[in-house]
Each structure stands twice: as C-alpha cells, then as structure tokens.
Chains A and B, each alone.
Chain A
Amino acid sequence: MKTLKRLHPLVAVVLLYGCAQPSISTQSTDQVILRAEQTAQVARDTFNLFVHLERDNESVLKTVNPQIHVYANTIRAHGLDWVDSLRAATKAFKANRDSASQANLNTALATLTTAITEANKYIAQSKGALHQ
C-alpha cells in the first residue's frame, strides 16, 4: 500500500500528460519545443543517475554485468554532448521553424531516446543486482 501511495501521483501525471496531448500531426511548434526540452531534461537526469549509480557501485556491478560499466563509460564520453546537440537543434528550430530544422531535431531526439532506453535498462539491472 505504501508503494501504491508513492506510485499513484507519478503515474497519474504521466498518463494525464500523455492522454492530453494532440497527435503529432496537429502539434504546434511550441509543443515540439516543449517535448524537445523535456527530452533533454529527462536524458540528462537519467544519464546523471546512471553514472553516479555505476560509479558508487562499480566493482559490484562489473561482476554482475560488465556491459553496465561499458555503457556507463559510453554515456560519460558522449551523453552530455548528445544533450547539447539536442539543445542546439531545439534552438535552431526555434529560430527557423522549417522542415530541415525539424528533421535535425528529430535526429537528435532519436539519438537521445535510444540512449535513455539503454541507460534505463542498465539502471534496472543495477537496481536488481544491488538489492538481491
């Protein structure tokens, strides 16, 4: 029950947010910018959690799955540059809202989305390993 009390507000916020949004074809450019900013923020928060969690438990996690350390170093090497690339693409789109700018923005979003997926996968593995 304690877990449900914590879970409920977050799930509600995310679900309401998702349901309230119009389809991509009718989104205003302001919505595109908001989504891009949110993605940059989620990516940076996810990467920061991941590199700290991995560094704080590096020796244990290396024995659990060496790929956790490998991917943490990939994020250390490129993660902030990917966030900066998305920020630059977002600013370019704000300045010139044409299809070329949107295509660049979509490319940056795709890169970060893939990286967030991988980082979340390893965060989940780390959590499982640290609390078995």
Chain B
Amino acid sequence: MTAILALVLKYLPVLVQAAGEIPQITTFLSEIRAVFSRQKAWTDAEEAEFDAGTEALRSDPAWNITD
C-alpha cells in the first residue's frame, strides 16, 4: 500500500466524522472516493483538464496570501 493510501486511511475516520458538520469535507470525500475508484491513467484530455484546473486555482481568492 502506498504512502498516499496510508494517509487517507489514517485521517479517514476524522474526516468522515466531520463530513456531517462541514459541507466542504463532504465534497472532498466524494472527490477522494472518485480518485481511488479510477483504474486507468488519464487520457490526454483528462490530463489537460486537471492541469487547467490547477492553474485556475491560482486565481481563487482563498489561495491568495493576505498577510
């Protein structure tokens, strides 16, 4: 089992408990479930979509350092 899976397992109980209280965590868990259910590497289009999504976050205000 890779380190990333070990991490998910380590924090899973806390996050699942929090899911009922913090909506963002519910969304996060849904996304993580989709990640680990994938069995094949991305297509070129999927790769491009992911990389564009990463770039888009750079303009998300929550990612700006304000102090």
Contacts and interface: CB of A to CB of B under 8 A. Distances in A.
Interface of A: 2-3, 6-7, 9-11, 13-14, 17-18, 21, 24, 30, 33-35, 37-42, 44-46, 48-49, 51-53, 55-56, 73, 76-77, 80, 83-84, 87, 91, 109, 113, 116-117, 120, 123-124, 127, 130-131
Interface residues of B, number: 50
B27 to A, nearest CB: 8
Main secondary structure of the interface of A (DSSP, over half): helix
**Which of B14, B39, B41 has most chain A Cβ within 10 Å?**
B41
Chain A to chain B: the 10 pairs with minimum beta-carbon distance, closest first: A127-B18, A18-B1, A120-B11, A55-B62, A124-B14, A49-B28, A33-B41, A52-B62, A113-B3, A41-B35
B57 A44 contact: yes
Nearest to B64: A76
Interface in B26-56: 28-29, 31-33, 35-42, 47, 50-51, 53-54
